[in-house]
Structure 1
Amino acid sequence: MLEQFYQDFGTHVCISREQGSRFAKAVADDFNPLHDVEAKKFCVPGDLLFSVVLDKYGINEQMHFTFANMVDEGVKLSMPQGEAQFDIKDGDKCYLSVQREGENSQCKTLTNALIKNYVEFSGKAFPHVVVPLMAKQGVMINPARPMIIYESMSIHMDTLAVTAPELREAEHVFTYEGKRGKIILRFDFLAQGEVVGRGEKHMLVSGIREYCQDTVDELIRGYNERKAALKS
């Protein structure tokens, strides 16, 4: 499923602007301007890096990902072999730290199902989850410069003896102090109605301000108009 979204050179992979942008829009339904081909400060989607790791290494019962730097086009991302804990780097610069524990599954059906379900959920977090979650506490992001940084994510599978788990949102958390805050998006993986795993996505937010319904309405309207224009 992911072969079209990165170039595999064995010991390292590269991702072009076109590949990163196409993944964001076609797979993740993510229309963040940072992922546009023509973006001045282009950034490869964090969810694509996560997906590439699963595609290359399979799924472990416990996996934790810490995002350190934004990836530009053409960066040579190292892919170490046979390690439980490793950094994906270009030279001395680390972009993603990975920790793996427990049994490992190389089942492509399971890997593709988990990637598809998680990425679709993650890509729609803004504005559909993030905005109402912050609104409950009477605050919102800065509409002129919405700064939401992907910090980390983790997966904990109770069993790998499944092939097509579905994702269900769990209880999300938002905390803040002053203009900075943290969002934790929680989710469960289900197979035949039973929870077989769970996970969390952690994001940092800055530029927090008092909630204004008119501003939020305009922000969401602008996002939806941009999405519709790019999809047409």
Structure 2
Amino acid sequence: MFLDQYYQHHPDGVVISPVQASQFAKEICQDFNPIHDPDAKRFCVPGDLLFSMVLQHYGLSQKMQFRFTGMVNEQTRLQLPKATQEQLTITDQHGKSLLEVSFAGKKTYNEAMIEALIRHYGAFSGQNFPTLLMPLLLEHQVMFNPARPLVMYDSMSFELQTLDADNLRIELRETTLDVQGKRADEHLHFAFADGDEVIGKGIKKAILGGLRPYEKAAIEAFADHYEQRRSAQSA
């Protein structure tokens, strides 16, 4: 499967190098969050790559929930357990929980369907900044620290009516930001469609930390630099 290039199997667990993680973020998600850069001091593997690995290893179920419970970096050795009927927990080599997954309903291992969902969801998820998040920051008059942006994937869940789609796509339905002092919860509500027919729905939650009062020039300069990096990658 195309995903194999973004991780490696070692005797003591699955390893994702900073280069592999960064390539996935940029190539699949168009995600240029500095935290995914190979040389970032606080480097972490994008949650969308972990989500994608779960689909590849355990299949795509009609109902799935993902809760990210820990950071993954280049020292992490992911332990992929045998799946029970309803849930599993991916840990590091020390037994620390990193990702909790629950699933229900019918399941498929169809590679074409799984790859389509990974690519479409990755592209959708990568729209968050600046396209989706910037208007929310303006509306609530808050922003993260441009020098140390903290926007972390918290959880995601979805429900599909069918596991067979010839023309899968994902549509945004609603975005919300719940500000609580210096942190906020962002929710992205979306729908799955097969052509013109809606076949499912989902919601992604991200956590923003280190919030401060909105400064137009500062956040727009950060967004402009972000888009410049994205344009350079495309070129």
Superposed pair shares fold, TM > 0.5: yes
1:60-79 → structure 2 map (5 Å cutoff): 60-79=61-80
What is the aligned partner in structure 1 of residue 159 from structure 2?
A: 156
1:142-187, CA deviations, whole angstroms, 9 ceiling, x for partnerless residues?
A: 2232211211111111111324410111111111122221100111
Counterpart-to-counterpart distance in 2, 1:188 and 1:46: 20
- Length, aligned pairs only: 232
Does 166-175 or 79-88 show the bigger shift?
79-88
What is the aligned partner in structure 2 of residue 140 from structure 1?
A: 143
TM-score (norm 1): 0.93
Does 109-118 or 84-93 show the bigger shift?
84-93
Stretches of structure 2 that go unaligned for 5 or more consecutive residues are none
Say if 1:61 and 1:103, in contact at 8 Å, map to a contact too. yes
Say if 2:167 and 2:195, in contact at 8 Å, map to a contact too. no
118, 125, 128: which one aligns with 2:131: 128
Counterpart-to-counterpart distance in 1, 2:39 and 2:147: 19
Identity %: 39
Stretches of structure 1 that go unaligned for 5 or more consecutive residues are none
Counterpart-to-counterpart distance in 2, 1:21 and 1:58: 24
Cα separation, partners in 2 of 1:137 and 1:40, compared to 1, 3 Å: closer
Quick one: which amino acid aligns to residue 193 of structure 1? D
Alignment RMSD (CA, Å): 1.8
TM-score (norm 2): 0.91
1:108-129, CA deviations, whole angstroms, 9 ceiling, x for partnerless residues?
A: 1110111001111112211111
Counterpart-to-counterpart distance in 2, 1:82 and 1:140: 40
What is the aligned partner in structure 1 of residue 48 from structure 2?
A: 47
Shift of 1:80: 1.5
What is the aligned partner in structure 1 of residue 121 from structure 2?
A: 118
What is the aligned partner in structure 1 of residue 4 from structure 2?
A: 3
